[in-house]
Amino acid sequence: RKLFGLKAELKWPNDVLIEGRKVCGILAEMDAEMDVVNFVNVGIGINANTSIPQFEKTVTSLKDALGREISRKEFLSALLMEIERQQPLLMKADLLEEWKKLSVTLNKDVRILSPGEVIVGRAIDIDTTGALIIKERNGSLKKAMAGDCIHLRKEAPNTNVGAVSRQ
């Protein structure tokens, strides 16, 4: 958002989208004991100057979004400086609220494919552990800690969950 003025949004649990297409994935690993965090490792994969025509409906790159190639060295330098600048936010509870503001998953009908379970319903919240809270058709609430999140499109105005649209 800040580096290029692009409207980047977050898709639970770890995708960054531009115009509904994935441009980045983020993975994190944490080791903690009680209320002490020993370490957090974060990996970021960004499609910089790559174009993948066979996936153009679901995947994009910074090059495609901007209409020009970028300097990966300059981008990496600017990204690392921005991460350092944002570090105080990472240490506060405000991070969850920022995540929710940028989320394109909340208030959407979703299908979560997680190990051993498929959850279908409306994504209504993200809790402090990062779990997605889904309200199923029967009104029960389910938590998803991980999995493939598919945003569903409504088939008709009276249908709660409809045809699949992988976004």
Q: Which of 147, 152, 165, 164 is closest to 14 using CA atoms?
A: 147
Higher pLDDT, 4 or 141: 141
What is the structure's pLDDT at 155? 52
What six digits make up the tokens of 166?
């992988």
Single pTM value for the model? 0.79
What six digits make up the tokens of 57?
């409906």
In this structure, how many other beta carbons lie within 10 angstroms of the beta carbon of residue 100? 13
Interval 26-72: pLDDT, tens: 998 888 888 787 888 889 999 999 988 888 899 999 999 999 999 99
60 close to 24: Cβ distance less than 8 angstroms: no
Least confident range of 57-61, 123-127, 157-161: 157-161
Query: CA dist 65 to 48, 59, 146, 148, 157, Å?
Result: 10, 11, 28, 24, 32
Which domains occur in the chain, in start order? 8-102 (3.30.930.10), 106-167 (2.30.30.100)
